[in-house]
């Protein structure tokens, strides 16, 4: 009888968790304020994605862990402020909050890119915390959203202590995602 091999393939991403409860509450207030029927990111899932991989196997996950072990960075504090959208205010797909210390995030991103695994990063890296995902948006909702974006454009939400980088597995289940921490590297 032939043996069936079970191949382990996973959606995986490296990220910095947002663990400051006060900051999470402030970001949730913006989500509540926007409340136009979009898909808000739950507080326990807010993070800064560094890299994303669509379908990788266990060997590649181990390679990512080894790359994380080689990180040469100190912990740091970043200010979370402002609200914007990707890709533009005309074609809104993501509502986000920004961070300062972009050069430190970029350095982490660059170091984490030191492997041979093809990532699914489709855009130039810009550190941000995703607040909402937008699917369908009519003109009225777009107008209201733009007004709220202007209102919070320079708003300071709080500080984020960046102390570690984590590797997560993401499983999609009934329109929602479940994250499982696979690895963590202290800075």
End-to-end CA distance of the chain: 50
Ordered domains of the chain (ranges, CATH)? 10-186 (3.90.1140.10)
Mean pLDDT, rounded, for 112-126: 80
The better pLDDT of the pair 91, 105 is held by 105
Q: Which of 185, 145, 136, 183 is nearest to 163 (CA)?
A: 185
pLDDT tens-digit series, residues 4-62: 445 567 889 999 999 999 999 999 999 999 888 888 999 999 999 999 988 899 999 99
Which residues touch 27 (CB under 8 Å, ≥6 apart)? 18, 43, 46, 80, 97, 129, 131, 157
Instruction: Tell me the pTM.
Output: 0.89
Counting residues of the chain whose pLDDT is more than 90, the rounded percentage is: 71
pLDDT tens-digit series, residues 132-175: 999 888 899 999 999 999 999 999 999 999 999 999 999 988 77
Give the model's pLDDT for residue 1. 45
pLDDT tens-digit series, residues 59-87: 999 999 999 999 999 999 999 999 999 99
Give the model's pLDDT for residue 7. 54
């Amino acid at each position: 009888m032939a043996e069936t091999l079970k191949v382990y393939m996973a959606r995986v991403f490296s990220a910095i968790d947002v663990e400051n409860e006060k900051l999470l509450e402030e970001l949730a207030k913006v989500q509540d304020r926007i409340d136009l029927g979009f898909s808000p990111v739950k507080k326990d899932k807010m993070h800064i994605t560094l890299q994303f991989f669509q379908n990788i196997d266990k060997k590649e996950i181990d390679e990512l862990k080894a790359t994380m072990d080689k990180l040469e960075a100190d912990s740091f504090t970043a200010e979370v402020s402002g609200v914007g959208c990707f890709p533009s205010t005309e074609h809104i797909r993501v509502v986000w909050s920004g961070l300062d210390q972009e050069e430190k995030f970029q350095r982490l991103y660059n170091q984490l890119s030191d492997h041979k695994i093809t990532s699914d990063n489709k855009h130039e890296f810009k550190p941000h915390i995703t607040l909402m995902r937008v699917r369908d948006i009519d003109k009225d909702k777009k107008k209201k959203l733009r007004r709220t974006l202007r209102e919070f454009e320079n708003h300071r939400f709080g500080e984020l202590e960046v102390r570690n980088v984590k590797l997560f597995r993401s499983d999609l289940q009934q329109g929602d995602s479940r994250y499982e921490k696979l690895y963590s590297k202290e800075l």
